[in-house]
Amino acid sequence: MKNFLRSFIFIVFACGWVSLWAKPKMNVLFIPVDDLNHWVGYTGRNPQAKTPNIDRLSRMGVSFSNAHCSAPACEPTRASLFSGLRPSTSGCYLNGHLWKKYVKEGICLNAHFKDSGYYVMGTGKTYHASGTSKAAIYENEWDEYPRLPKSSTGGASKYQGYFEPLPLKMKDEDLGDWHSVNYCIEQLGKKRDKPFFLACGLIKPHLPWAVPQKYYDMFPRDTIKLPPHLEDDFSDIPKFAHGVGNSGDHPKFLTSGRWKDAIQSYLATVAFVDVCIGRLLDALEKSPHKDNTVIVLWGDHGWHLGEKQRWRKFTLWEEATRAPLIWYAPGVTKADTVCSRPVDFLSIYPTLCELAGIDIPSHVEGRSIVSLLKDPQAKWDGVAITTNGYMNHSIRNENWRYTRYRDGSEELYDHLKDPYEWKNLADREGFESVKKRLAAHLPKKNAPKTPTKKPSKNKKPKKEG
Ligand SMILES: [Ca+2]
Ligand SMILES: [Ca+2]
């Protein structure tokens, strides 16, 4: 009888282990959104924004209200997020640095998932460079990466909707993103014998801000409000910073009177990409993978629209560093929660590994935030670090931003009192200990400054992104 009981217990335990072992791995729906700043519902940063589908995803899981890119430009932020390496470690600091020179094949997030038994698919803009360009990815790191059947812009020139009015008549189907989503919808509908990693790289709201008229109609021009800004904001910032991210766009908007038009265009373009995101969520909801798929959505960096007299990205201020980060992980995240802990996008690689139950490669510098997915109020001593070119870093914790440029000049902002970073406290008395505490997080390694690729005689280097 005893032997029988022992055998019975053994069989029960063995079955338990087998079923645990056989538990299907989580799939991943990975949604990078190009140039999507923090004008989305859950941050409340701009109440004019209409993002019902991003809000819907936000209600499904945990949204991070203090999430920051590791670099405020497409190429380095994506190289960093995918490789797991800080810009100051890899040396890929800026657009034009050609990320493949700094990130070797085989170490990136998608490659690691492929090596770990996932079926890895992507489309649109994941890494820097258009999804229509073969230079954008390492082909062997993906199982499938179809090219867009349409251009990302629908034929609009770069500054339509920005400096220039919008003469185009356009349909949703004219834009590349629409077709990226079509491909992903098709993939989500398939039954599979392997777990999948599916990246839907959305290219809007990157310029041009040209989308169908119906999206502009959602934001009548006479209702548009300018973002909060201060006329003499630059009176207390270091000289070095006066040249940072200065595209020269702001004087053009002031003289043309098109500031509000540009705000309208950005809001409209975000509304378009929000519909694309809604189509993905609908498809997953109807799919056989609904209860076993992690969703992570991230904007690759922020975007100034006149705040601090800046447009675009390329700065270490809040508008350029902060971007949406939303996680939905069935059985892990709590619905409709917001986490204000400071995190940067280097957290995405290790977090996905932990959720998928695969190892975190030793070169990965970020920390998993699964503890925050489970409990957004959990203790957290991490900070967000953003790097904008060689030796220019900004550290963000829950209440403060501390920035140090390569000439040693500094900025310090108290985010509890000054969310628009108007009052630089770095040179005032009484803040030495705060600065010291934050400065302790500055990267110890700073890969040498590398010149950007020399422009050929006929071709200008690509700066946007
Ligand atoms: Ca971008
Ligand atoms: Ca100021």
What's the CATH code of the domain at 147? Answer: 3.40.720.10
How far apart CA 373 and CA 352 sit, in angstroms, is 11
Task: Reply yes or no on whether the pLDDT at 131 is more than 60.
Answer: no
Report pLDDT digits (tens) over 175-230: 999 999 999 999 999 999 999 999 999 999 999 999 999 999 999 999 999 999 99
Q: Which ligand is nearest to the CA of 34?
A: 1
Q: Which ligand is nearest to the CA of 202?
A: 1
* Stretch among 136-140, 328-332, 415-419 having the lowest mean pLDDT: 136-140
How far apart CA 460 and CA 465 sit, in angstroms, is 14
Query: Is the residue at 198 inside a domain?
Result: yes
- Ligand 1 centroid from CA 77, angstroms: 8
| pLDDT of 5 | 52
Query: Is the residue at 263 inside a domain?
Result: yes
Query: How many independent structural domains does the chain possess?
Result: 1
Q: Which ligand is nearest to the CA of 207?
A: 1
DSSP designation for 227: P
For residue 190, give its domain range: 25-385
Helix (H) or strand (E) holding 396: strand 393-396
Beta carbons within 8 Å of 374's beta carbon, 6+ residues apart? 332, 333, 334
Sign of the dihedral defined by the CA atoms of residues 227, 231, 235, 239, in that order: positive
| pLDDT of 19 | 46
- Ligand 2 centroid from CA 38, angstroms: 21
How far apart CA 318 and CA 303 sit, in angstroms, is 9
Helix (H) or strand (E) holding 395: strand 393-396
- Ligand 2 centroid from CA 233, angstroms: 4
Q: Which ligand is nearest to the CA of 201?
A: 1
Cα 39 to Cα 42, 268, 302, 325, 426: the distances in Å are 9, 12, 9, 12, 28
Over residues 286-291, the mean pLDDT reads 97
Task: Reply yes or no on whether the pLDDT at 20 is more than 60.
Answer: no
Q: Which ligand is nearest to the CA of 465?
A: 1
Report pLDDT digits (tens) over 355-386: 999 999 999 999 999 999 999 999 999 999 99
Task: Reply yes or no on whether the pLDDT at 17 is more than 60.
Answer: no
- Ligand 1 centroid from CA 343, angstroms: 19
Query: Is the residue at 441 inside a domain?
Result: no
Query: Is the residue at 96 inside a domain?
Result: yes
Task: Reply yes or no on whether the pLDDT at 9 is more than 60.
Answer: no
Task: Reply yes or no on whether the pLDDT at 92 is more than 80.
Answer: yes
Over residues 270-299, the mean pLDDT reads 98
For residue 205, is the peptide bond before it cis, meaning its omega torsion is within 30 degrees of 0?
yes
Q: Among all residues, which ones are annotated catalytic?
A: 74, 128
Q: Categorize the per-residue pLDDT at 461 as very low, low, confident or very high, splitting at 50, 70 and 90.
A: very low
Residue pair 57/281 in contact (Cβ under 8 Å)? The answer is yes
- Ligand 1 centroid from CA 73, angstroms: 6
> What b/e readout covers 205-214, taking b as 16+ CB neighbours within 10 angstroms?
bbbbbbbbee
| pLDDT of 6 | 62
| pLDDT of 7 | 57
- Ligand 1 centroid from CA 382, angstroms: 25
With a pLDDT cut of 70, the percent of the chain lying above it is 91
Report pLDDT digits (tens) over 222-235: 999 999 999 999 99
Q: Quick one: tokens of 27?
A: 């799939």
- Ligand 2 centroid from CA 308, angstroms: 8
* Stretch among 78-82, 93-97, 239-243, 287-291 having the lowest mean pLDDT: 93-97
- Ligand 1 centroid from CA 8, angstroms: 59
- Ligand 1 centroid from CA 32, angstroms: 9
Beta carbons within 8 Å of 447's beta carbon, 6+ residues apart? 87, 88, 89, 90, 91, 93, 390
Q: Categorize the per-residue pLDDT at 103 as very low, low, confident or very high, splitting at 50, 70 and 90.
A: very high
More confident residue, 394 or 21: 394
Q: Categorize the per-residue pLDDT at 98 as very low, low, confident or very high, splitting at 50, 70 and 90.
A: confident
Residue 367, Cβ neighbours under 10 Å: how many?
A: 17
**Helix (H, G, I), strand (E, B), or coil: what is residue 337?**
strand
Query: Is the residue at 362 inside a domain?
Result: yes
Residue pair 274/51 in contact (Cβ under 8 Å)? The answer is yes
Task: Reply yes or no on whether the pLDDT at 453 is more than 60.
Answer: no
* Stretch among 323-337, 397-411, 441-455 having the lowest mean pLDDT: 441-455
φ, ψ (nearest 5 deg) of residue 436: -65, -45
Task: Reply yes or no on whether the pLDDT at 457 is more than 60.
Answer: no
| pLDDT of 136 | 82
Could you tell me the strand order of the sheet in which 337-339 lies?
A: 119-124, 196-201, 27-33, 293-299, 325-328, 62-64, 337-339
